[in-house]
Structure 1
Amino acid sequence: MASSKRNYHVFLSFRGTDVRNNFLSHLYADLNRNGIHTFKDSEELWKGEEISLALMTVIEESSVAIIIFSEDYASSQWCLEELVKIMECKAQKDLIVLPVFYKVEPREVRQINYH
């Protein structure tokens, strides 16, 4: 692994069951095709507490976070933990955060209680 503070250009936060095999795969491929080093987790890879810590480090080491809000995003405790970490890094480390609303309206996301 590189010793650079920013190991990834982009971190993708998403609910896999909603977007993994359609929108996300196209976005990920296009970012990488354009030379943008992008982190996309694999549900098989990221299970367990020690992995959770590693994932939080990946968020800290990214320059940009793209949050793909989808219908079931907020039903995932994992997604909500990522979201909290992303917002902490936005405030403390100048992480750029870009929301994408996939088949949901922004007003639907605003009603979610993240705490």
Structure 2
Amino acid sequence: MAMQPPSSTSSSGLSNNFSYDVFISFRGTDTRHGFTGNLYKALCDKGIRTFIDDKELQRGDEITSSLHKKIEDSRISVIVFSENYATSSFCLDELVHITHCSKEKGRLVLPVFYGVEPSHLRHLNNNSYGEALAKHEERFQNNKENMERLQKWKIALNQAANLSGYHYSPSEYPQLTSIFFPLYISFL
């Protein structure tokens, strides 16, 4: 998705129109102390203002309005899709808001497929994403509002799967420069 050029920039070339340059969405139990933590550090080391939620959220917690605002106030959202991302209703609600901001506000979304393939997000059969969504569906069965929420999750997953992104295996140490260099260049 095309981004609008910033109307003003700081001396480093980064936009002053946003509170953050990058918002990182991730499943903490999968990647917080490895891939995502290293990505966050690498981005910050390059002077890229990056938001990462540093609180461990309990299962069932809902996305807060303050976190919605962080997404809205970020120029780019990086979504780290990992094995257990879809087990978190919080992550999925976050994803829905990210895709909404992409569509309605022109925000750039950059998916990172960490140990999963885009097809896992599209085709919810016999993979961790399908299993997680089936459990959510079972839990939501008698609640129309939550069933609508589940449909929004599926649509957002499909949309994200169709975006160009980066693919990494947990067994390999990714070259983080392949992610943060294009992000940094986009701010110049």
Normalised TM-score (structure 2):
0.54
What's the RMSD between the two structures over aligned residues?
2.2
Corresponding residue for residue 92 of structure 1: 104
- Tell me which amino acid in the other structure corresponds to 2:40: Y
Give the CA deviation at 1:111: 2.6
Partner of 2:76: 64
Give 2:90's aligned residue. Answer: 78
* Distance in 2 (alpha carbons) for counterparts of 1:44 and 1:108: 25
- For residues 25 and 87 of structure 1, the distance between their equivalents in structure 2, rounded to whole angstroms, comes to 23
Output the CA distance in 1 between the equivalents of 2:91 and 2:123: 16
Q: Give the whole-Å Cα distance in 1 for the aligned partners of 2:49 and 2:18.
A: 10
Which residue identity lines up with residue 78 of structure 2 in the other structure?
Answer: I
Given candidates 106, 110, 114, the residue that maps to 2:122 is: 110
Residue ranges of structure 2 left out of the alignment (5+ in a row): 1-15, 125-150, 155-188
- The higher radius of gyration belongs to 2
Shift of 1:25: 1.1
Deviation for aligned residue 1:43:
2.3
Quote the residue 2:36 is aligned against.
24
Identity of aligned residues (%): 47
**Deviation >6 Å, runs of 4+:** none
Question: Displacement, 1:45?
Answer: 7.7
Q: Which amino acid aligns with 1:38?
A: T
Q: TM-score, normalised by structure 1?
A: 0.87
Offset of residue 85 of structure 1: 0.3
Matches of 1:44 and 1:66 in 2, distance apart?
19
